[in-house]
A and B are shown apart, each in its own frame.
Chain A
């Protein structure tokens, strides 16, 4: 097979890339154009003359705060999920204790209860606990994770018995073993999961919409949907500048950590 010349493949992939990069390009150029021109329907394919003035506008508004809320929420969800999943997977993989099966199945059930199917009752639990309109409410209920627990359990079960034996001979207790052996050997899985969970947290929409009505807790995704909900007199360049800022962190994380994340995603499913 000739490794160089495959014009059909290049053509198909180029079209694919255009399909997925063109909208992003439009957002970028729109953010540098005059909002009135965009509103008239004269969106240009080339950067406009406004430079970064739309960015200056949005950065002087509530957008930085929204980015901060999103970042906090994404990090809290990613670390929170990883920590509690590592702990429970460690317990399930390395101990036999009463209720182990029950615990396993209860965690497993969460797979089947996405937030979308229990909107109202979860809201009432949140309000009973006083978590409505709090930052904790944005992330805490989202960190229980069957997927992550099952993934880590799978990784932990594959750790050779000899390693456990050796650690015990050296007099290492379970927590010592977790810290010195288990965590380092699961590094790649943790990195992959971090990417997936960071994206998951950053991209939440329904949950923050439900539990936080205070604009001080608006995430960037919520903020942008609010901005486009009003279709008259929309400052489109500001919307697009905000969109660029909202897309930047997750895209950077995915592109930089692509190798780990792709491996983690596909291997985790097998």
Chain B
């Protein structure tokens, strides 16, 4: 949409966009270009010299079983978090949409976890599942289940999926509830007259009408699981045991910040950028919507 009436100034608007423009240039575009550049170079271990290496870093990554493992692990993790979080949120939203007493209170109590930092979600889950102090963790171990996500990779993955999905439910709940509330009551009423009820009505009428919301949330959840879960993972498992919970972002951090392998870490960053660009493009292509931030 363009407006007809505008102000005629030329310099003022430039001054107005300048702060945003400069910040974008300095902290977004410049580092991104540097990432692309370093991904094409190789540095000696002391960081003194670097030389152009073409796509060597990328070839190395894609022939490195450890990297491919991390890609597969991340894909699994993203899918699991999105599925668990979205289905639970949709389930709760369907019931919170009903005309019942105290629904405002229910909603508030289901929305508040939006405020929790990913790293703080870890603290909450420690009290439940930490093997020596967590309520459920201790109970499991006293009853003969060897539960310890510091030692068992599968359990560690389950733990971070749970904690990360849990944290995202409130966000999905807000959107599903808004989506449900915008389903025209007349349509539902008509379906009821036709004898469609319960699950059938949900499956044939409500769910298809929620498709745009669901697709939007799917992209948001995949992005969340890929990037925003770093805090939760770092606080719970630091990517371990071994590499059991090392998602791509955790790996970039480990390789770049901890092991100082700039070339490889930059190549990984560039791949992640392409991933985000792909997801964003997908979202615009199908919905014309912006991801939140």
Contact = CB atoms under 8 A, between A and B. Distances in A.
Interface string A238-270: 011001001100110111001000100110111
A119 B127 contact: no
A116 B122 CA distance: 19
A113 to B, nearest CB: 5
B48 interface: no
A53 interface: no
A55 interface: no
Given A43-B135, A113-B28, A119-B256, A258 B111 contact: yes
A87 B95 contact: no
A236 B169 CA distance: 27
B290 A269 contact: yes
Contact of B23 (A30, A84, A121): A84
B118 A203 contact: yes
A180 interface: no
Question: Secondary structure of the A side of the interface?
Answer: helix
Contacts of B285: none
Contacts of A43: 127, 133-135, 138
Given A120-B256, A269-B175, A17 B21 contact: no
A217 interface: no
Interface in B1-27: 1-7, 9-10, 12-14, 16-17, 19-21, 23-27
B31 interface: yes
A121 B292 contact: no
A171 B207 CA distance: 52
A210 B230 CA distance: 12
B15 to A, nearest CB: 8
Interface string B257-270: 10000100110010
Interface stretch (A5-13, A57-65, A183-191): A5-13
Contacts, number: 316
B116 interface: yes
Contact of B231 (A19, A107, A109, A221): A221
B235 A10 contact: no
B115 A199 contact: yes
Given A17-B110, A43-B133, A205-B234, A23 B273 contact: no
Question: Secondary structure of the B side of the interface?
Answer: helix
Given A26-B127, A41-B133, A43-B133, A221 B120 contact: yes
B127 A112 contact: no
B218 to A, nearest CB: 13
A39 interface: yes
Interface stretch (B50-58, B62-70, B74-82, B100-108): B100-108
A199 B114 contact: yes
Given A95-B9, A106-B24, A118 B31 contact: yes
A204 B118 CA distance: 9
Interface centre among A149, A151, A255, by most chain B C-beta atoms within 10 angstroms, is A255
Contact of A121 (B9, B111, B174, B269): B269
Contact of A119 (B4, B10, B29, B265): B265
Nearest to A205: B231
Given A1-B99, A103-B21, A121-B34, A247 B119 contact: no
Sorted nearest first, the 3 A-B pairs with minimum C-beta distance are A203-B117, A205-B231, A121-B31
13 contacts: A6-B98, A16-B92, A88-B17, A95-B13, A111-B290, A112-B277, A118-B269, A145-B293, A196-B292, A203-B117, A203-B120, A228-B123, A258-B108
Given A95-B12, A121-B34, A225-B122, 6 more contacts: A8-B95, A41-B132, A97-B9, A114-B276, A141-B27, A250-B117
